Structure 1
């Protein structure tokens, strides 16, 4: 619950709210060059909590109220305009000097009221004199009318949550209150908290089975390798890609990929050494030191298929160098779709390029798919990479892919994923 409450506090943090407000106010006023919010502090001080644009120089500034121009709108509880900071008599020498440093010549300052009490001010500044008129007061005032209430209420709510977080005697009612508040204030946060709980359960006790699909030499029909695939036994029933993607959403994707990898590597020990075994990893997982250690410690020859559900980091080629020096070969999965583009292939110089199944589907009737597959095959040949076509479902597809120069293939036509026990009856 601690993480939930902390995120709730952060989500309603007044300073974050103020920062968004000043940005939007400034953006929506063409004459404005900057905006700021300052709130009253104990001891008759005024603290600048949020700035945007040219007012960035005063971020965090804490000064006595009477030394600021904001003292006027705070005292009168109505908007005040400075037409020219160089001539307005209300501007103190210190404020005039600061305005020169910021390049500010005019200012509109409106008090923030809560329960009729001025708690701070919203100020908009401009580089030109006489930049603001009475017409500008209305739109900004409409913002400040509820901004003061929002600041007060969010501060009070954050205080209550801090008390809940630091309480030594939390009850089940406190947990229920936090959950309810999360579902109302931040439904996406509540969903993430629930997802984190589910992923934690899978990581702690969920079972992952390993199955292997044959990769076949299209010229001879001989099985040369097996791709390891994960099957999650956890509820609700989801495919491995979905479980791993959900784990990455709560920053536990590498843990989940490591759990699946260990299951595959254990099962792969029963596959004869004459066959290569391939495993799938995301770029983030492949760069992880713990996963690299697992790969390098395995006694058999391996190929890592890089699954690009997100762009590969630019420094990935450097971070995976220990794996490649350990004689583990690298494959780019799903080439021709998504992020598995030529840039990544050029950067990593893989040993194997696997053509996405979307290229294989209807390749025998679609000239554009055939042209792209042919181009990728020629490209792979130029960089010394082997090509593997995925998703082969018919004899015609297999023959056409072989004729355009693709060396290896896999798909239901060539063999379905099976457990190691089933493979022993069919291949070993």
Structure 2
């Protein structure tokens, strides 16, 4: 971008060139190429409503102004007084979808009667090249703004809604606990893990996850057994998350650590978990079988609970390969002293097969859908 601006300034023989980004009534000078750096800095902002660029965009002034003194409209604007601009060229920076990103401009502190429409044509070509450079960032900014418009009100309201899905003993249907699951507005049209990932994308993920944990903890009085809560490894390591967990009745909590996010430092993770586990917190590795790091998570974190992902649970009754995989996970759990919970059970046949394969616990639509905590029962039989 700086090279494009240097080309503009050199070709036109003016004192400075810059590209702006429009944000409501504010004009941000994103990159400035100037012979007078103290007067114009990258990142500075100025009002849009009384700028030369807006007057040009509105058709009140021509795109090429060799001498501002010939235009009373121009001389009434702040730029004519400070920093005393006298020659000016401004063309829009237009993105591929037709939206105007900002302006590509060059200015001089003296009149320049040599400025012509040919110079405007050069600036237009350079602005088109600038549009190609800024478009990816503009798209990302627009995406982040859209995400923030959805996520920020949820954070302000104290976090997402929480429902509970029972976790039962397969042999008896007795409920031993429940998993707390976050719920976002149905109109958003995506699953909760997508919304948490979007929140992390804009820097609000840790806060949103901690709020979800706190709301889940409020449901510990909904019935007996434990409440399983989900958290990502990166959020778990934050001070806010560790502080929130330390204030909860740890012996009633199973913390589910998703294996979809890679753990950067297992020693750091185990060190953070140690005082919590000493206080009664149980650790579960979630989604085992769905991603790249199941066995590594299990070996290095030594969880109390292994949760089998629905991808290796659904259809297990009729699939010999899934049976071998589930049996192997059950044997591993037995050898390490961990309990096994199968997620996503939807049929009686799968529930029976899982029990035969050494999986003692499970959850899924076969027993109950995630629902209002007040609707939890002690026993689920079909």
The two structures share one fold, judged by TM-score above 0.5: yes
Deviation at 1:341, TM superposition (A): 1.6
User: 1:237-284 CA distances to partner (integer Å, 9 max, x unpaired)?
Assistant: 443212111101112111111121122111223323xx1111111111
What is the distance in 2 between the residues matched to 1:404 and 1:235?
40
Partner secondary structure for residue 163 of structure 2: strand
The alignment's TM-score, normalised by the length of structure 1, stands at 0.59
Deviation at 1:328, TM superposition (A): 0.5
Further displaced range: 191-200 or 414-423: 191-200
Q: Tell me if structure 2 keeps the 8 A contact 1:206–1:234.
A: no
Q: What residue is the counterpart of 1:332 in the other structure?
A: 285
Tell me if 1:181 matches 2:59: no
What is the distance in 2 between the residues matched to 1:344 and 1:291?
20
Unpaired runs of at least 5, structure 2: 21-28, 35-39, 58-91, 94-98, 103-130
Tell me if 1:212 matches 2:164: yes
What is the distance in 2 between the residues matched to 1:356 and 1:307?
11
What is the distance in 2 between the residues matched to 1:376 and 1:203?
38
User: 1:128-156 CA distances to partner (integer Å, 9 max, x unpaired)?
Assistant: xxxxxxxxxxxxxxxxxxxxxxxx87799
Q: Tell me if structure 2 keeps the 8 A contact 1:202–1:234.
A: no
Q: Tell me if structure 2 keeps the 8 A contact 1:164–1:170.
A: no
Q: What residue is the counterpart of 1:293 in the other structure?
A: 243
Partner secondary structure for residue 166 of structure 2: strand
Give 1:259's match in structure 2, choosing from 195, 211, 214: 211
Q: Tell me if structure 1 keeps the 8 A contact 2:158–2:211.
A: no
Give 1:305's match in structure 2, choosing from 256, 262, 275: 256
What is the distance in 1 between the residues matched to 2:349 and 2:148?
46
Deviation at 1:345, TM superposition (A): 1.0
Tell me if 1:226 matches 2:104: no
Partner secondary structure for residue 415 of structure 1: coil
Structure with bigger helix share is 1
Deviation at 1:197, TM superposition (A): 3.6
Q: 1:236 to 1:426 in 2, by over 3 A?
A: same
Deviation at 1:401, TM superposition (A): 0.7
Deviation at 1:225, TM superposition (A): 0.8
Query: In the comparison of the two structures, how many residue pairs are matched?
Result: 287
Partner secondary structure for residue 337 of structure 1: coil
Give 2:228's match in structure 1, choosing from 278, 285, 290: 278
Q: What residue is the counterpart of 1:365 in the other structure?
A: 318
Q: How do 1:314-329 and structure 2 match up within 5 A?
A: 314=265, 315-329=268-282
Q: How do 1:157-176 and structure 2 match up within 5 A?
A: 158-159=31-32, 165-167=43-45, 169=47
What is the distance in 2 between the residues matched to 1:340 and 1:244?
20
